[in-house]
Structure 1
């Protein structure tokens, strides 16, 4: 190992000196060489660099010659006969197999280390501690009585004068909520329990008919729908689902002034023919997509 380290060090010095030669050649005659006899000084400097490089090259050759012969190549059973193939396409298979085995060994080592780290830091998607004490399990937000859901939505509707909420249950207990926000837009929220699973937004003059998944024909409401999906994920809270729905509805209600409120950053009502379709999650202020 000492001899190999010495050889690598010699190679490093050789490459560094060669780089200095090319740097000197690229720079040519510099100011420090002087106006008189500058070419002679430049040639003298280049000669010294070449002499030094030649010395490093001899050191590298002597160090490499002193290295011991490596052990026999890695054998892979009968695959060693692949080197006897006459076809040019098959002669390289043996070396490729050797590299593949080495790569697999590294993956196995890294996997072992990763498994050890993950085992030491066990991650569980649970809010219960690892204590041996018996605890009452938390109720699932996907399984709540319809009366509780209706009560939450009714209180939300009372909080916003310009928001109309209509609840339907075409499939068992899971609700589909139709929302009309003033004369601006309509939205359909598909719930699973009290968790929002999907949101579709359309213009006030559009209808949903029997297709609750179809997007609006207006590009501006398609952008609003994309933002509602981001908000749906942002306000997601399995521990406080009622509060998460209230925050989402308050955020959605901020679109009541979609076409009448300017962007808080640029102060324009329109940018690239679009109103400010983004609403800040905390302050509920309007922004264009380019200004947020």
Structure 2
């Protein structure tokens, strides 16, 4: 089986290298090519990528030539009986079984990668440790805030920006789910737990505001990703009001999402997207590829 796995790995590498070629062609001339000799640098980069594709194709051919055909048919076990189904609606059952096995293998692979990454993450959004939680009382934190205090903070933020409307609802007991409308540019749903921001979903103006479904537009899905990063960046258990105000100030900077150029390349569009990233300190707009 080792030559078979080697051939599959070679095919994966070849597909990745071909994808890099098409990605380079789609992006065209980039800011990192500089001002002088941009076309020459782009052609040299494309030539290197094509050379890599040629080398990987040779590796695939060598790996495939080293394979030996199986001596007989594969043993499919009881699944081979599925081909004997006479009912038309069940004849495609075998293909569905194969797809389900592939999907399950991918779930296992991604789960193992997620466990490895999460085990390295030491960030904690709580005051107490699980080992001392039984011996000590939970300290007052941004979780334990009265509903009146939360309403006061959100109302203050709503008055700060006349072009940003923030409304409050409580569909889940005392925790707040606020709807933020930023001009006619975008809208968002922000879920709180006390004064701690738990979840953010950004959507286009006119889309349905649902907490657990993402936008159908790529630009707002990108803004949602950056909002999650900003949510963690501004989190402060000791100063929860300042954390919420800082996040809302950062979020308000998206008022010029479609008419503000990138601070680095000075272009409005890059890879068919506006500058979707905002600097966490200066609030200046950048494309995701141009951010410092």
Coarse TM-score class (shorter-chain normalised): 0.5 to 0.7
Q: In 1, distance between residues paired with 2:284 and 2:205?
A: 22
Judged with a 3 Å threshold, the aligned counterparts in structure 2 of structure 1 residues 244 and 127 are, in CA distance, closer, same or farther, namely same
The answer as to 2:230 corresponding to 1:249 is no
1:260-288 CA distance string (max 9 Å, x none): 00000000000110000000000000000
Structure 2 residues without counterparts, runs of 5 or longer: 1-123, 129-136
Q: In 2, distance between residues paired with 1:126 and 1:165?
A: 27
Structure 1 residues without counterparts, runs of 5 or longer: 1-123, 129-135
Cα shift at 1:139: 1.8
Q: In 2, distance between residues paired with 1:168 and 1:258?
A: 27
Cα shift at 1:126: 8.6
Cα shift at 1:185: 0.4
Q: In 1, distance between residues paired with 2:126 and 2:175?
A: 24
Map 1:248-287 onto structure 2 (within 5 A).
248-287=247-286
Cα shift at 1:140: 2.1
The answer as to 2:222 corresponding to 1:223 is yes
Judged with a 3 Å threshold, the aligned counterparts in structure 2 of structure 1 residues 191 and 260 are, in CA distance, closer, same or farther, namely same
Q: In 1, distance between residues paired with 2:248 and 2:272?
A: 27
8 Å contact 2:164–2:183 — kept in the other structure?
yes
Q: Quote the residue 1:182 is aligned against.
A: 183
Q: Quote the residue 2:192 is aligned against.
A: 191
Q: In 1, distance between residues paired with 2:251 and 2:125?
A: 29
Q: In 2, distance between residues paired with 1:126 and 1:287?
A: 32
The number of residues matched between the two structures is 160
Q: In 2, distance between residues paired with 1:202 and 1:172?
A: 25
Map 1:122-201 onto structure 2 (within 5 A).
138-201=139-202
Deviant stretches of 4+, over 4 Å: 124-128
> Which has more radius of gyration?
1
3-state SS of 2:200 partner: strand
RMSD over aligned Cα, in angstroms? 2.0
Normalized against structure 1, the TM-score is what? 0.52
1:40-84 CA distance string (max 9 Å, x none): xxxxxxxxxxxxxxxxxxxxxxxxxxxxxxxxxxxxxxxxxxxxx
Normalized against structure 2, the TM-score is what? 0.52
